[in-house]
Structure 1
Amino acid sequence: MALAAKLQLRQSQSLVMTPQLMQSIRLLQLTHVELERFIDEEIERNPLLERAEPQDDAASDQAQKSETAPERDSAGDWFEGETEWSAEAISQKLDSSLENLFPDDPGTSERLGPDLTAQWKSAAGGAGTASSEGFDVGDMAAAVVTLREHVGEQIALASLSPGDRLIAGELADGLDEAGYLRIALVEVAVRLGTDEAAVAHVLGVCHTFEPAGLFARDLAECLSLQLQARDRFDPAMKALVANLELLARRDFQTLKRICGVDEEDLLDMLAEIRALDPRPGLAFSGGASDAIVADVEVRAANDGSWAVELNADTLPRVLVDNVYFARVSSHAKDQAEKDFLAECLQNANWLTRSLDQRAKTILKVASEIVRQQDAFLVHGVRHLKPLNLRTVADAIGMHESTVSRVTANKYMLTPRGVFELRYFFTASIASAEGGEAHSSEAVRDRIKQMIDEEKPADVLSDDAIVDMLKESGVDIARRTVAKYREGMNIPSSVQRRREKRALANAGR
């Protein structure tokens, strides 16, 4: 068969992902903080972009009043935080059997050290007599030291030789954000050309640093260091810390036998364990977390419906300076400069249109979510409807992937609190009576309430919960109940029965 060249005409359609289109898609899924950073970068690159910062007279007067007469809450209340012994914190230090070691009851603890707290109180106390600039909390937040800096100060003050200080600095570099030592002693010894015994000696000095528990190599050592600092590391407590796996399983009978104590003493020891901090280094996280800012606000309207509005604080105000473009382009020296200015103008106009389209899309998706979840806003989580991305996408005439991008990391302020948009998308659980399906989040809430209301003498098994849910019209499998329970860090019925009986006996 002979080969010959010939011409053929074909028609086809294809989607070309231009840089501008990719930018628009990217803007949809950016959070408020990420969007602000992106716009700052664009303004720095593009001379035709500028921020519009309107400030009315009322805002100016309010700002002036804030500067001349600042009002501050009690300084001690500002740094009162909660440290919770959650399953997540424990499972990072031990195997999965420890996920139920500590209950969900939060305990209050100071998040900063005594030096920083005193510094804050001193600064807050002088705020009322400061100059007209007042006192800015942001200045104090920026002055919070990191864990490495805090440890470095203690190394400098410790009774260590120059060589030992070098070892201590190397150990400090091996700390993770929770304050645990994540580097082997032999590795430090090899790196510094010394012996492991010298490194172990310096580690012993580092174990005396504040807050107690720093430089621990596992959870048991962290708790031991804190108990030693409190002079409470007696033989019974030592045995308890050495058997945290039994504590996680709530095997109180075995623990009483190993520790040689009665039930009342064991409960006192457990209370002391819960008062400790499993991650002492987190008080010096070294960086400010991005605050959650609601992108959409929902409030009740006068006609009984819901008013859905975009949060004005999350809407970036960007302007295209056409006057500057006209002035500069008239003085362009060559074609390259004209092309550069034309490209800047095109990109600036595209950005403003993309931001406007982003805002409209978020509002459109949020309004449909509110319409779908009206019962939740009125009655609560028990009335949350099953909802998926396709349902919303079909209702507003958008692609499912667009809805997915819009709902990622966006938050809605409602009369019932602040929720991520994806919170309203839940799986469907069939009704036992053939009626309307139930939301998985609503069923999860029912399971939690059942367990919270159970009595020590009548602890509910997963099978019992399944039967009760079916009586109320929820068709659910036992493995699903177990999955939901474990997802909420709720122990099994056997473990709950042991703990409730122990607490009941202790109250007699």
Structure 2
Amino acid sequence: MALAAKLQLRQSQSLVMTPQLMQSIKLLQMTHFELERFVDEEIERNPLLDRAEQHEEIVSEASARSDGQPEMADDWGSSDTILSAEAISEKLDTSLENVFPDDPGTMEQLGPDLAAQWKSSATGAGAGGSGDFDIEDVFAATVTLRDHAGEQIAFAFVDAGDRLIAHDLTDALDEIGYMRGDIAEIAERLGVGEAVVLDVLSICQTFEPAGVFARDLAECLALQLIRRDRYDPAMQALVDNLELLARRDFQSLKKLCGVDEEDLVDMLAEIRRLDPRPGLAFSSGSADTIVPDVEVRPASDGSWTVELNPETLPRVLVDNIYFAQISPLTKDQAEKDFLAECLQNANWLTRSLDQRAKTILKVASEIVRQQDAFLVHGVRHLRPLNLRTVAEAIGMHESTVSRVTANKYMLTPRGVFELRYFFTTAIASAGEGDAHSSEAVRDRIRQLIDEEQPVDVLSDDAIVDILQREGIDIARRTVAKYRESMNIPSSVQRRREKRALAAAGR
């Protein structure tokens, strides 16, 4: 069979994801802050995009100027031309430096008193736009844990070598105040013996706040107990066996510490008053504020009003007027292609943002319809719900609903919840009733454990029996899994802890 080249035509269909389509999909799962950052980047590189808020401010300023102020000179352009503050300053050339140049001759003519007043007024006007002093504009510098330790090092050590070691130990502090460096490595790097580093560390462990420069939790607690003069042999045995305390093995702790139950309760109360993370007092981290994307309020007819939060919707406008003005002035084909691409991208962004808002509102409305009982009665009436149910109800793909519900929050009369909170698995009913939501079952387990008495602590089997009588068909391993996910100890550990708390109450 001879080999020969052939030219064949074939027709085929394929789904191609364009870059704009891929970007539209990404917009769905962006958070409010990510979306704002993305829009700002698009506005920065696209001259045909602008914020609606900025456009409204410019229009209002122009209308106010045309009503109550004289028109500008002709050399500034036409009357409808809007100049920025920087452009006006350049044309007038009346900045403070131009009116009174800051040179010795001018200052001598003004005199020392007037010169001082002029400098102070110029500084105030240049900094804040007015000469008034606002105390809120002054912020105290944040003192970090390393800064606080460095101040104490300057007074605690006389020898320069010890100070160097102390500063090296300070660099090894983590955010909670523990020294995470290796003593042998530090000694080798600084060319000193390990005993010298340990001596410096022992001095640093006397710094404020109590417990800093500890190498683990036990040492941190011991340092604070020493400061309180409570580190006796019994307390030392308790600190050395924190793993027994975590397991609530109070019987073993009483034997190791050589104390009775009353003394052990007092020792546990002393431990609870200590701070296991002393360095967090100097932490400058701040929690991000959750801004709900959807707001749900009761309507007058007994239904629910679902609205998008306007604060999470970036208002973007396409400047078609500027495009019409600049298009006739373009002569190069590259410039024309650039303007056409900018217009296309601007129109695409506005359509994508509008489609994103409509999709979020549609998904949120269906969630509210499905979880109406939760909004009225609480978590016990949360219905089992999955992404496919919502997707089929609103005529969208399941993946689209998944992207929309990612990192989006809903403000309801019962609080702020992530949209994915309303999607829970179903637990079969023991009878012929409806299935139960796993989140509602978790809440019921938590309530049963909170209401139990020290003499009648519920085991997992007992919780299963109670739930079975309430019509919830659940296995023991599922109860154990839900209990562990809520960080609730076992019945044995809870019994020990509740008896100790009851004894302390007596």
Same fold (TM over 0.5): yes
Distance 1:333 1:167, change over 3 A: farther
Residue 200 of structure 1: aligned partner = 198
Distance 1:313 1:219 in 2: 44
Q: Structure 1: 5+ residue runs without aligned partners?
A: 61-130
Structure 1 residue 415, shift from structure 2 partner: 0.4
Q: Which deviates more, 377-386 or 494-503? A: 494-503
Paired AA for residue 194 in structure 1: V
Structure 1 residue 364, shift from structure 2 partner: 0.9
Residue 19 of structure 1: aligned partner = 19
Paired AA for residue 188 in structure 1: I
Q: Does 1:172 align with 2:170?
A: yes
Residue 116 of structure 1: aligned partner = none
Q: Which deviates more, 174-183 or 264-273? A: 174-183
1:480 to 461, 478, 498: 478
Residue 48 of structure 1: aligned partner = 48
Q: Which deviates more, 288-297 or 144-153? A: 144-153
Residue 419 of structure 1: aligned partner = 417
Structure 1 residue 280, shift from structure 2 partner: 2.2
Distance 1:29 1:164, change over 3 A: farther
Distance 1:10 1:279, change over 3 A: farther
Residue 223 of structure 1: aligned partner = 221
Structure 1 residue 172, shift from structure 2 partner: 2.6
Residue 465 of structure 2: aligned partner = 467
Distance 1:185 1:437, change over 3 A: same
Distance 1:46 1:424, change over 3 A: same
SS at match of 2:329: coil
Structure 1 residue 488, shift from structure 2 partner: 1.0
Residue 2 of structure 1: aligned partner = 2
SS at match of 2:306: strand
Structure 1 residue 233, shift from structure 2 partner: 2.1
Q: Which deviates more, 187-196 or 397-406? A: 187-196
Mapping of 1:81-92 within 5 angstroms? none
Q: Which deviates more, 23-32 or 340-349? A: 340-349
2:298 to 297, 300, 304: 300
Q: Deviations over 1:44-64 (max 9, x none)?
A: 22233222227999xx9xxxx
RMSD of the TM alignment (CA)?
A: 2.4
Distance 2:273 2:334 in 1: 68
Distance 1:39 1:214, change over 3 A: farther
| Paired residues of 1:263 and 1:506 also in contact (CA < 8 A) | no
Paired AA for residue 457 in structure 2: V
Paired AA for residue 157 in structure 2: S
Q: Deviations over 1:21-75 (max 9, x none)?
A: 2221111111112222222222222233222227999xx9xxxxxxxxxxxxxxx
Distance 1:148 1:56, change over 3 A: farther
Distance 1:279 1:358 in 2: 43
Distance 1:458 1:284, change over 3 A: same
Structure 1 residue 495, shift from structure 2 partner: 1.0
Distance 1:315 1:141 in 2: 31
Larger Rg: 2
1:262 to 254, 260, 263: 260
Q: Deviations over 1:175-202 (max 9, x none)?
A: 2222222221112222333332222222
Distance 1:132 1:422, change over 3 A: farther
Q: Deviations over 1:311-344 (max 9, x none)?
A: 1111112222233333444433522233223322
2:318 to 314, 317, 320: 320
Distance 1:344 1:211, change over 3 A: farther
SS at match of 1:53: helix
Distance 2:251 2:459 in 1: 21
SS at match of 1:491: coil
Distance 2:198 2:212 in 1: 15
| Paired residues of 1:33 and 1:290 also in contact (CA < 8 A) | no
Distance 1:205 1:373 in 2: 60
Residue 91 of structure 1: aligned partner = none
Q: Structure 2: 5+ residue runs without aligned partners?
A: 61-130
Distance 1:480 1:14, change over 3 A: same
1:501 to 495, 499, 502: 499
Distance 1:152 1:328, change over 3 A: farther
Paired AA for residue 23 in structure 2: Q
Distance 2:313 2:250 in 1: 56
Structure 1 residue 132, shift from structure 2 partner: 6.3
Structure 1 residue 391, shift from structure 2 partner: 1.0
Distance 1:135 1:17, change over 3 A: farther
Aligned length: 434
Distance 1:199 1:368 in 2: 64
Q: Which deviates more, 457-466 or 253-262? A: 253-262
Structure 1 residue 245, shift from structure 2 partner: 0.8
Residue 406 of structure 1: aligned partner = 404
Q: Which deviates more, 176-185 or 445-454? A: 176-185
| Paired residues of 2:387 and 2:398 also in contact (CA < 8 A) | yes
Paired AA for residue 15 in structure 1: L
Distance 1:151 1:294, change over 3 A: farther
Distance 1:309 1:468, change over 3 A: same
Distance 1:230 1:329 in 2: 79
SS at match of 1:309: strand
Mapping of 1:431-446 within 5 angstroms? 431-446=429-444
Structure 1 residue 362, shift from structure 2 partner: 0.9
SS at match of 1:505: helix
SS at match of 1:308: strand
Distance 1:372 1:235 in 2: 61
Distance 2:259 2:393 in 1: 64
Structure 1 residue 267, shift from structure 2 partner: 1.3
Distance 1:149 1:499 in 2: 40
Q: Which deviates more, 146-155 or 343-352? A: 146-155
Distance 1:310 1:152, change over 3 A: farther
| Paired residues of 2:173 and 2:180 also in contact (CA < 8 A) | yes
Residue 96 of structure 1: aligned partner = none
SS at match of 1:44: helix
Distance 2:139 2:371 in 1: 39
Structure 1 residue 459, shift from structure 2 partner: 0.9
**TM-score normalized by the length of structure 2:** 0.80
| Paired residues of 1:147 and 1:286 also in contact (CA < 8 A) | no
Mapping of 1:19-168 within 5 angstroms? 19-53=19-53, 136=136, 143-168=141-166
SS at match of 2:489: coil
SS at match of 2:417: strand
| Paired residues of 2:157 and 2:163 also in contact (CA < 8 A) | no
Distance 1:141 1:370 in 2: 44
Structure 1 residue 308, shift from structure 2 partner: 0.5
Distance 1:29 1:152 in 2: 45
Distance 1:333 1:287, change over 3 A: farther
Distance 1:42 1:157, change over 3 A: farther
| Paired residues of 2:265 and 2:503 also in contact (CA < 8 A) | no
Structure 1 residue 401, shift from structure 2 partner: 1.2
